[in-house]
Structure 1
Amino acid sequence: MKTNLRTDDLTCPSCIKKIETGIGKTEGVTGVNVKFNLNKVTVEHDDTVTGESLKNTVEKLGYPVKSVNTSA
């Protein structure tokens, strides 16, 4: 599965590392790609991970999530 999250507060490369590390620790996540210039986080994961749980993780890291889109 793949989930795309949109946020407005990705301003620098250190944001990438913080999010990749935070989400990467989630059981079931197989890949994380952060594009700070597009304010987009793409997460590849198995079906045990929900878009809502990923949103909560990103928001706990200090980045408000505008939208979540999960596809198979």
Structure 2
Amino acid sequence: MQKAVIQLETLSCPSCMQKIENAVKGLNGVDQDSLKVLFNASKVKLDFDSEAVAINDIEKAIENLGYPVIKSKVKSA
């Protein structure tokens, strides 16, 4: 498993959090229990299986909703 912290542009509404959470939870390889969308910090934290899903795929799922990703940090769990 790998841990990721994805920095987003400032989130403007709590419903944005829900949309992002649902999109990322729907990806194969994401540890759903670890997923946290931090509204005030505009960050997404999660653990994922890098053999099942790439960080690029997670970023794309978020960007497809219209939330630009500023940067991602990935480290081994």
Same fold (TM over 0.5): yes
Secondary structure of the residue aligned to 2:40 is: helix
Deviations 1:24-66 (A, max 9, x none): 0000111310011101011211122211111111000110000
Higher helix share: 1
Tell me the amino acid that sits aligned with residue 30 of structure 1: D
Runs of at least 5 residues in structure 2 that lack an aligned partner in the other structure: none
Aligned residue type for 2:17: I
Deviates more, 1:31-40 or 1:42-51: 42-51
For residue 58 of structure 2, the aligned residue among 54, 57, 71 is: 54
Identical-residue share of aligned pairs (%):
33
Q: Which runs of 4+ in 1 moved over 4 A?
A: none
1:2 pairs with 2:3: yes
1:1-72 matched pairs, under 5 angstroms: 1-31=2-32, 32-47=35-50, 48-72=52-76
After TM superposition, the score normalised by the length of structure 2 is 0.86
- 1:58 and 1:44 mapped to 2: Cα distance? 16
- Equivalences, count: 72
CA distance in 1, matches of 2:10, 2:54: 22
Q: CA deviation at 1:13?
A: 1.2
Give TM-score, length-normalised by structure 1.
0.91
List gaps (5 residues or longer) in structure 1. Answer: none
Alpha-carbon contact 1:11-1:37 (below 8 Å) kept: no
